[in-house]
Chains A and B, each alone.
Chain A
Amino acid sequence: MDENLVAMLATGDQDAFTALYQRFYRQVLHFARRYTDETEAQDITADAFVQLWRKRAEFTHIKAVSSFLFVTARNRCYDLIRHKQVKSRHERELLAMMDDHYHNDFFLVQVRLEMAKLLREEIEKLPEKMREVLLLSFRDGLKPAQIAEKLNISVKTVSNQKLSAIKILKSALHHYPLESLLLLLPFVS
């Protein structure tokens, strides 16, 4: 199925291009986001796909497509970092990028995304109220007081629900004692 998409892309099939976009854009975007700000990351992502269209006749393999997107995005991020000379955490990542032997960055982004996907499946399994609280916090960025008002529950209930939800998710990821979990939570008010 994948190779079929690539063959169709080569003939200029726009639906195939759109399908490939849906398949890879998150990965490119999340990859670029690790190295630069949102506006640049979106610009880099858009540009990678524009370049993909320009060169559409050159691909035969799905891996060549994802590699091309990755390399295009990576090169632009690389140029950006070089210009900005950002320090500390980014410097570490810069060094990783400079290591040409191990082009794992893109794959690791994919793994991260995959884990996020698996965790979100766990979120779906949460009791409804708990899930609501979590999504209102994550997705909509609401503060506990706002969530309380929206769901017509007390602020205490909000923080309890949130804690429980996160606890369940954490144990889905890890087997850690509850106390140390609390230390790690950035979301708890």
Chain B
Amino acid sequence: MYVYLGKNVHMAYSEQYIAQLILKHFREEINPFEMEQLERWLSETPQNRLFFEGLDNEEDILQLIEMEERDKKNEVGRQLLLEIQKRISLQDIPEEITPVRNMGKKRSWWYAAAAVVVLVAASAFFWWQSDLLQKPAENSFVTEKGADILPGSDRAILTLSNGQQVELRNNGSQVINDGELAISNDGGELVYAPSDKVVYNTMTTPKGGQYKITLADGSQVWLNAASSITFPTQFIGAVREVSVTGEVYFEVERNKKMPFIVKTPGNTRVEVLGTHFNVNTYSDEDYQTTTLVEGLVKVRNQSAEVELKAGQQASIDENDASARDIKVSEANVEEVIGWKNNLFVFNNADVPTVMRQISRWYDLDISYKGPVPAKLYRGKIPRDFTLSQVLNALKLAGVNFEVNGKTLIVSQGNRK
């Protein structure tokens, strides 16, 4: 072995060779030449000799055998690999963006680690489908001006208590004043400190925008594209109440004495007894849903009330004005809150569902040429991808795309 990190380069022994020498020595089957080799290795460092002498007690090796057998039985290797894949695919933007070698053009790190979409998912971590990655990305989805469409970013508008509107961006820190109240804006997050001032502010995100707020009680709120939240700058009274539209994810600070209530269009209320949940009230979705990640919530509209446990989802039919039922079902939490973790997560999502999400984030209108392709998508795509990168992945399922200004035209692909 080469002592790569040491000062000198030592003899090139492999671990297999040394192990064999040691065993031969113990069995008294070692010849003089081999003995010399062993001695040389033993004198390389005091550690080697210590190790060798420690082997007097074979408990060490037998324990190792035991561990290896148990590992095999418990499939430790396989579980660990899955964990590694999961961590890689869920990673935030890395500090170093290393250009991938031997490629024609510079790619973003994300594409190299791409979470790509497959039509039939065998495993949850489909980005291991290496054949998909071998195809280079053709930059075919550009507008007439030749520019790829960029993904959404941290953008929002804050409406203060006097009606004044402030544009929010993620470019350095700033302080916004609502009268004497100072609000901090930094890193795509608006933070309200506790204060005496009780007025209402509203934050609105456009298509292609997203933003985060920390409310005065410490509760954290993430807004997806085309969403809004109206809230008081300080919570007083018996309840903490906010109103939302669009898609919003909450992590609410516990306070038994002051329940947290979220109002959504159509006079629905979500009462928070626990902590982390996602509310989706986009009017172009069929259902208004509340998905509970952790804790307990009660969802109530004018005619029904249900209690959700973690992992459950309450659905209210958007189109049925006299909705009497609130449906409770199991939810794929990862799919629902993927956006908050900077990913599109699809779990057998049909083309229209996928397109609605794409349209909100890339600020596009969707139009279909011919029948809507009947494909299902299962996988994860980072929200940092440009539109080209996303469409390159999606088209592999056999769907055709064409970009015309701000419109994305979707049609069925040719059968292979």
Contacts and interface: CB of A to CB of B under 8 A. Distances in A.
B183 interface: no
Nearest to A135: B69
A102 B46 CA distance: 9
B26 interface: yes
A46 B87 contact: yes
Contacts of A11: 100-103
Contacts of B62: 119, 138, 169, 187
B98 interface: yes
B147 interface: no
Interface stretch (B78-86, B195-203, B304-312): B78-86
B51 A108 contact: yes
Bin chain B's interface residue count. 35 or more
B133 interface: yes
B94 A54 contact: yes
Interface in B35-64: 45-48, 51, 55, 57-62, 64
25 contacts: A10-B101, A14-B127, A15-B130, A18-B81, A29-B71, A30-B64, A30-B67, A42-B83, A45-B80, A46-B84, A50-B88, A53-B113, A57-B99, A58-B98, A96-B47, A102-B3, A107-B3, A108-B51, A112-B61, A113-B15, A139-B69, A173-B27, A173-B58, A175-B26, A186-B59
Interface stretch (B4-12, B237-245, B315-323, B399-407): B4-12
B2 interface: yes
A140 interface: yes
B82 to A, nearest CB: 10
A174 interface: yes
A13 interface: yes
A79 to B, nearest CB: 18
Contact of B26 (A141, A173, A184): A173
Contacts of B72: 139
A91 interface: no
A88 to B, nearest CB: 15
B23 interface: yes
Given A53-B88, A102-B46, A103-B3, 17 more contacts: A25-B77, A29-B76, A42-B76, A64-B4, A104-B47, A104-B48, A111-B51, A112-B60, A114-B15, A116-B65, A119-B65, A139-B72, A169-B62, A173-B26, A173-B58, A175-B28, A184-B58
A104 B1 CA distance: 10
A119 B61 contact: yes
B396 interface: no
Contacts of B19: 111, 114-115, 117-118
A55 B57 CA distance: 40
Interface in A33-78: 33, 42, 45-47, 49-50, 53-58, 63-64, 67, 71
Contacts of A141: 70
Contact of B23 (A118, A170, A186): A118
Contacts of B5: 67, 71, 103
Bin chain A's interface residue count. 35 or more
Nearest to A54: B94
A108 B18 CA distance: 10
Interface in A155-177: 169-175
Contact of A12 (B15, B22, B112): B112
B58 A174 contact: yes
A184 B47 contact: no
A14 B84 contact: no
Contacts of B66: 138-139
Given A57-B98, A140-B73, A116 B84 contact: no
Contacts of B103: 11
Closest 7 CB pairs of A and B: A114-B19, A139-B69, A110-B15, A12-B112, A116-B64, A138-B66, A102-B45
B20 interface: yes
| Interface-central residue, A11, A33, A54, A116, by most chain B CB under 10 Å | A116
Contacts of B1: 107
A112 to B, nearest CB: 6
Contacts of A171: 27
Contacts of A87: none
Given A12-B113, A71-B5, A107-B1, A54 B96 contact: yes
